[in-house]
Amino acid sequence: SLGILDDESNFFSPNTPAERYDFAIAIGKAIDIRVLENTKKKTPTKTIFKDVKRTVKDHNYLVAAVNKGVIKGITLETFEPDSFLTREQAATIMVRALGLEQKAPDPNFATHYKDDKKISDYARDSVYVATEIGLLEGKDNNTFDPRGKLTRAESAAIIERFLRYLEADLKENYRDNILFFN
């Protein structure tokens, strides 16, 4: 209803794996990245990744998210927009969007998941933080399944949790500012 998960079909297909591009755009919209529309400029801007056309819908959200450090490619030149999003990628994107990267305890912290050793080094901190603040949960058998594909239903649920966290965090920051700075 917020227009964050945009789908041109009449079906949501909740069990279909979420794609990297769709999730990146949804997070960009969820954090309300300001996108400049170049209506007067005739020459389009260069695409940020070789495998993402600048004419694709909502391309400016991807550019803005990359420029803000929220989204990164698979390599410096490729994004793999149609690849399926993994659970550890989703955790990393959300934690970057919140500015909470590198917030896990040091040294040698571990998540409480049985498959902690399978979590990629780049994502371990984010998985820990995303779990602790309630954005992501493990599977029934206390595993995280870091390279498991996130479904569209799961991505919608974690984006909803992400929005609720943003709302609660903003209220807390506002309350703290009123109490301690006035």
The pLDDT assigned to 86 comes to: 96
> Which CA distances in Å does 141 have to 45, 75, 87, 121?
47, 33, 16, 22
Report how far residue 66's alpha carbon sits from residue 70's, in angstroms, rounded to the nearest whole number: 6
Q: Which residues of 34-52 are buried (b: 16+ CB within 10 A; e: fewer)?
A: eeeeeeeeeeeeebbbebb
Dig out the tokens for 127 from the structure: 């998985």
Query: What pTM value is reported for the model?
Result: 0.83
Identify the band that residue 169 occupies on the pLDDT scale cut at 50, 70 and 90. Answer: confident
Identify the band that residue 42 occupies on the pLDDT scale cut at 50, 70 and 90. Answer: very low
121 sits in which H/E element: helix 121-132
Question: Does residue 102 register a pLDDT over 50?
Answer: yes
